[in-house]
Amino acid sequence: MKLIVLSLLFVFLSFNAFAGIPLVGLYQTIDDETNLPKSIVNLYEYKSGKDSLLAGRIVALYDEKGNLSETVNNPVKVADKVSGKPKYVGLDIIWGMKWDDEDSEYKNGKIMDPKKGSIYSSVIWQNSDDKLQVRGKIGPFGRTQTWNVLNVSDLPIELQKIDTSAWSPVIRK
């Protein structure tokens, strides 16, 4: 009997160890002022030593009318406030996020506002299947954005076939 109870306990604990929110994927950011789509960010996992961390890279931009205007195959706009003046599309804006099982969120990482070139501490969590909460903060003060989970099949083929397996964030300060 003890063996059965221990076996069930082991199985239960094993499932809980892998019960993290699967945040890897494509998300649509929304402009705070216009409430229109602003960009598509690909959240991806990468290794740092023994740790698996979460990062986010801009893979597409929308124009002022909410239409897809730039993708990884045709980056145009330059993030002139960011060190090195990279293009927005291809820019890593999130890095170093580590999963916290107790709080069911990623934290202890950084997020960049590419328009200003400013870098903040960050927390990422999910309250519903179709929305992601992304918070940039300095101490207790900050701002939370809601990002929409995207259905990959609704995107252009070039965004559907992005291979993030070799990605590692390029951190600009």
Which domains, and CATH codes, for the chain?
A: 21-160 (2.40.128.520)
pTM for the model stands at: 0.86
**Which helix (H) or strand (E) is 159 found in, with range?**
helix 157-160
Name the 3-class secondary structure at 129: coil
Region 108-121 average pLDDT? 96
The model's confidence at residue 90, banded by pLDDT at 50, 70 and 90, is very high
Region 71-91 average pLDDT? 96
**pLDDT of the residue at 21:** 35
**pLDDT of the residue at 22:** 54
- DSSP states of 68-106 as a string? EEEETTS---B-TTSTT--BSTT-EEEEEEEEETTTTEE
**Which helix (H) or strand (E) is 16 found in, with range?**
helix 2-17
Look at 14-28, 74-88, 151-165 and tell me which has the smallest mean pLDDT.
14-28
Q: How far is CA 92 from CA 43, 57, 63, 102, 139, in A?
A: 10, 4, 20, 27, 22
Indicate if the pLDDT at residue 76 is higher than 80: yes
Rounded Cα–Cα distance for residues 105 and 97 (Å): 9
pLDDT in tens, 133-157: 999 999 889 999 999 999 988 899 9
Query: Of 112, 146, 102, 151, which Cα lies nearest the Cα of 126?
Result: 146
Mean pLDDT of the chain: 87
Query: Of 119, 122, 117, 120, which Cα lies nearest the Cα of 97?
Result: 122
Q: What is the DSSP letter of 1?
A: -
pLDDT in tens, 32-68: 889 999 999 999 999 999 999 999 999 999 999 999 9
Q: What angle do CA 89, 137, 130 make, to 5 degrees?
A: 60
Indicate if the pLDDT at residue 3 is higher than 60: no
Indicate if the pLDDT at residue 7 is higher than 90: no
